Structure 1
Amino acid sequence: MRNNKFLIISFFLLCLVFIFLSCKRNQKVSNNETVRDKIWLWGHVEGSHNGHFGLPSGLDGSKITMMEACNYMGIKNCMVVEYDGKPEYEEGANYAAQLSDCKRIGWSAVGAGTPDDFVVDHVKPIKTILQLSDKFENLKEVMFDDFFVGDKPRVTLDQLHEMRTLIHERERPLDMWVVIYDFNLEEYLHDEYLEYFDVLNFWTWKSNDLDSLEANLNKLRLRVPNKRIILGCYMYDYGLNKPMSVRKMAEQCQNALKFLKDGSIEGIVFLASCICDLNLDAVEWTREWVTYVGDNNIQEIDLREINSWTELSIQKYTNID
């Protein structure tokens, strides 16, 4: 009986090791890439969050554009995401042209939304994005934001299949990203949809749940072992409508760097462009962090040295904890 129990436990542990190694193999991090190569900025039209989530509005609100925010933060990849109807699809070319200096950009087929925001015309955004990608070669990703925020996903399974066919069955296929929140591990997540996506963009909605980040990432990997994962890092605590503490921001970055180095994730996204000119401590510290680690080769990073720098660098900020 004891031998049988030992065999069962051994088999279970071997399965976990196999799944973990499979996940690492699916993360695309080459030996000569720098940290900056793998960092993205989540982009919204200027002023998108003004007056929301406890952020200022009017003359005190944000005015920075996506490209200005990328330059300010030292980030060369930008994910353009529709928020409150902006940018409109007809404006796409103007915004894509503004981001022509970015190495890579992505565009949302499904933007920020609520449980009741079902996509009416699922083909139109895809055709618009594909037309943009034909004109702007740095457009390589398609984002599905807030996809699992209600009892039903934002499009049906048949609609998603049609969207994937349009995105993938072309001379230059694009990657399909989908946002997954930590709370999706308990509700709203429909596993049958996940096979259609190339990248899972994982976010922790409230800062007080960041202590569970590594455990939640492991849950996601076990649930969907063959998908690439990019970690989302909020620079403002949107879930609690307050500024992100610098320590919580630093913990996010430290974990992200560790996961990036060990191959658990293949990238990091900081949210959002439209708060980068509000003099928020978490944003300013993140800018310092990107400058400090950005040009380091991922595989050669000394995590202990960077953690020591982090502890010193956060001391000058007032909103540490």
Structure 2
Amino acid sequence: MWGHDPGAYDGPKGVYNIPLSAPMSMAEGIKSMGIPNVCVIRGGTPNEEYRKQFKDVKRIAWDLSGGSNKSYYELKDYVFGLRDTMPNLTGYYLDDFFHGKPGFNKDSETEPMPASLSIDEMKQLHEETLAYKRRLDLAIVLYTAQLGASIKPVMKHVDTVSLWIWSGSDIQKIDENFKKYRSLVPDKPTLLGIYMWDFGGKKELSKDFMIKQLDYAYKLYKEGQIEGLIFHCTPLCNKGLAAVDYAREWIAKHGKEGR
């Protein structure tokens, strides 16, 4: 599950119109959903007291870049340092990695899409992850709106892709977008992002849209086209949202299924 600290997006000053509820930690959020793993997506370098919440979490991936080159260099030493103290840390995430740029052709075959790290920095980072004494996955966030040939140069330097839509209306194009993704990235292990709020539309996601997302994700998983799902996000878990309640029921029914 995608983890954010409480207050990151909800409340009266939030830009996505998410209602306020009692604070819920990432660990509490995943427990409430019956999900054993969490992606810790946040900035800063929290202390050991904060990290205690993750002691009994099965697998953790930690944010290595918050959408900028600056955030990568601010987080890198801290996150790499966690490897020796958190045996359940199994990967890193490059969140909001690709950047829009006016006039850039995302279908360019010669120029990589603008991103938080250069191709040389990505190559070095991947080599550093491979050199560590135990194997941790380097994962990248990719949105369907970014699909184009210019993403391909980066893909050789990552282990896993998490593919996300942004607007709830794009759920109607989920099959079309996934096929386009696989035409560009045919062989990378992939986790499909499952939104429980319409962030693009800044409104509640309907139960019908959630059903469509999960039915399609289930089909892809059973066909072996994806390795799993990531539900977004922990601050939504205690707000009484229909999409969240349906997701919780779905996880209880299918969460432990194999192929």
**TM-score, normalising length from structure 1?**
0.72
Distance 1:209 1:79 in 2: 24
Report the AA paired with residue 147 of structure 1: F
User: Structure 1 residues 124, 171: CA separation in 2 closer, same or farther (over 3 Å shift)?
Assistant: farther
Instruction: Show the counterpart of 1:21.
Output: none
Contact residue 92 and residue 132 of structure 1 kept, 8 A: no
The runs of 5 or more residues in structure 1 that have no matched partner are: 1-40, 300-321
1:102 matches 2:57: yes
Alpha-carbon shift at residue 123 of structure 1 (Å): 4.4
Aligned to 1:232: 193
Distance 1:67 1:122 in 2: 24
Residue equivalent to 2:122: 160
- In the alignment, structure 1 residue 211 sits paired with structure 2 residue 161: no
Residues 1-321 of structure 1 mapped to structure 2, 5 A cutoff: 41-50=1-10, 51-56=14-19, 60-82=20-42, 85=43, 88-89=44-45, 91=46, 93-111=48-66, 113=67, 118-120=68-70, 122-151=72-101, 152-186=114-148, 189-295=150-256, 297-299=257-259
SS of the aligned residue for 1:135 comes to: coil
SS in 1 for 2:83: helix
| Shift of residue 225, structure 1, vs aligned partner | 1.5
Which deviations, in whole Å up to 9, do the C-alpha atoms of 1:46-83 show, x marking residues without a partner?
22112230113xxx34511101101100000100012x
The residue matched to 2:126 in structure 1 has which SS?
helix
Going from structure 1 to structure 2, the CA distance change for 1:121 and 1:235 (only over 3 Å counts) comes to closer
What is the aligned partner in structure 1 of residue 110 from structure 2?
none
Question: What root-mean-square deviation, in Å, do the aligned CA atoms of Structure 1 and Structure 2 show?
Answer: 1.7
Q: Contact conserved, 1:119 with 1:154, CA < 8 A, in 2?
A: yes
The superposition leaves residues 279-299 of structure 1 with CA deviations (integer Å, 9 ceiling, x where unpaired) of 11111111111112223x323
- Partner SS, residue 256 of structure 1: helix
| Letter of the structure 2 residue corresponding to residue 47 of structure 1 | G
> Secondary structure of the equivalent of 1:210?
helix
- Paired letter, 1:264: Q
- Aligned-partner residue type, residue 239 of structure 1: G
Does the CA-based 8 Å contact 2:6-2:25 persist in structure 1?
A: yes
Conservation of the 8 A alpha-carbon contact between 1:126 and 1:166: no
Aligned AA for 2:162?
A: N
Q: In 1, Cα distance between the equivalents of 2:75 and 2:93?
A: 11
Aligned to 1:23: none
Contact residue 179 and residue 202 of structure 1 kept, 8 A = yes
Conserved? CA contact 1:62–1:274, under 8 Å: no
CA-to-aligned-CA distance 1:256-301 (integer Å, 9 cap, x gap): 1111111000010000001111111111111111112223x323xx
Deviations, residues 126-159 of structure 1 (Å, cap 9, x unaligned): 3222221211111111101111132320121222
Q: Higher Cα Rg: structure 1 or 2? A: 1
User: Which amino acid is the alignment partner of residue 174 of structure 1?
Assistant: L
**CA 1:215–1:92 in structure 2 vs 1: closer, same or farther (change >3 Å)?**
farther
Structure 1's 177 and 230: CA in aligned 2 closer, same or farther, altered over 3 A? same
Return the alpha-carbon distance in structure 1 between the equivalents of residues 206 and 224 of structure 2.
27
Query: Quick one: distance in 2 between partners of 1:121 and 1:72?
Result: 30
TM-score when scaled to structure 2?
A: 0.88
